[in-house]
Amino acid sequence: MAATSVAAVIAHRYRKHRWVPFVAYGVAGAISFSRITGGNHFPGDVFLGGAMGFVIARYAVIPAK
């Protein structure tokens, strides 16, 4: 959840740079995948955590226009 929320904030802040959102979400995805392959979490845990992280960042941290 933390990786996805930080990625969403960084991607929003630097959205004018074409490569930053791809790198931010790519790193968050790699962290999430490593949690599954390491046996720390189930895929459903990672999916729900990523969704919650994105929603929290989008609606609680990033100001509305």
Asked whether the predicted pLDDT for residue 62 surpasses 90, the reply is no
Q: Which pair of tokens denotes residue 43?
A: 């895929």
* pLDDT single digits (tens) 2-34: 999 999 999 999 999 999 999 999 999 999 999
Name the domain count of the chain: 1
d(CA 38, CA 3): 16
Q: Which domain holds residue 54?
A: 2-61
The Cβ of residue 13 has, within 10 Å, a number of other Cβ atoms equal to 13
pLDDT at residue 20, as a whole number: 97
Taking the CA atoms of 8, 10, 11 and 15 in sequence, report the sign of the dihedral they define: positive
- The mean pLDDT value for 27-50 works out to 96
pLDDT at residue 33, as a whole number: 97
In the chain, where do the E strands start and end? none
